[in-house]
Amino acid sequence: MDFTLSEEQQMLQDTVARLVRGEYSFEKRLEFSETELGFSEDFWKQLGELGLTAVPFSEELGGFGGGGVEIQSVMTELGRGLCLEPYLQSVVLGGGILSQAGNAEQQEQYLSGVATGETKVAVGLQEPQAFYNQNEVSTKAEKSGDGYTLNGRKAVVIGGHCADLIIVSARTSGDVRDADGISLFAVDPNAEGVERRSYPTIDGAKGCDVFLNNVKVGADALLGEEGKAADVIEYQTGRAIAALCAEAVGCMEEANELTLEYLKQRKQFGVPIGKFQVLQHRMVDMMSELEQARSMAILAASVADDEQSDERRRTLAAAKNVINRAGQFISEKGIQSHGGIGMTWEYSFAHYAKRLVMIGHQLGDDDFHLERYASLLQAG
- The percent of residues in the chain predicted with pLDDT above 70, rounded, is 99
Q: Is the pLDDT at 157 greater than 60, yes or no?
A: yes
Q: pLDDT value at position 221?
A: 97
Query: For the chain, first and last CA: distance in Å?
Result: 26
Q: 2 pLDDT band (50/70/90 cuts)?
A: low
Q: pLDDT value at position 275?
A: 78
Q: Which helix (H) or strand (E) holds 367?
A: helix 366-379
Q: Is the pLDDT at 379 greater than 80, yes or no?
A: no
Q: 273 pLDDT band (50/70/90 cuts)?
A: confident
Q: What is the pTM of this model?
A: 0.96
Q: 141 pLDDT band (50/70/90 cuts)?
A: very high
Q: pLDDT value at position 380?
A: 65
Q: What are phi and psi of 117, to 5 degrees?
A: 90, 0
**Burial (0-12, 13-18, 19+ Cβ within 10 Å), 260:** middle
Q: What would the mean pLDDT of 331-346 be, rounded to a whole number?
A: 91
Least confident of 65-74, 241-250, 261-270: 261-270
Q: Is the pLDDT at 1 greater than 60, yes or no?
A: no
Q: What are the tens digits of pLDDT across the range 48-87? A: 999 999 999 988 877 888 999 999 999 999 999 999 999 9
- The percent of residues in the chain predicted with pLDDT above 90, rounded, is 88
8-state DSSP, 67: -
Closest C-alpha among 293, 353, 358 to residue 326: 293
Closest C-alpha among 367, 377, 245, 363 to residue 311: 377
8-state DSSP, 5: P
Letter string b/e over residues 127-149, b meaning 16 or more CB atoms within 10 A of that residue's CB: beebeeebbbbbbbbeeeeebbb
Q: pLDDT value at position 214?
A: 97
- Strands 147-154 and 206-218: what pairing? antiparallel
Q: What are the tens digits of pLDDT across the range 77-136? A: 999 999 999 999 999 999 999 999 999 999 999 999 999 999 999 999 999 999 999 999
Dihedral sign from CA coordinates of 185, 189, 192, 197:
positive
- Angle at which helix 277-303 crosses helix 68-80, to 10 degrees, equals 150
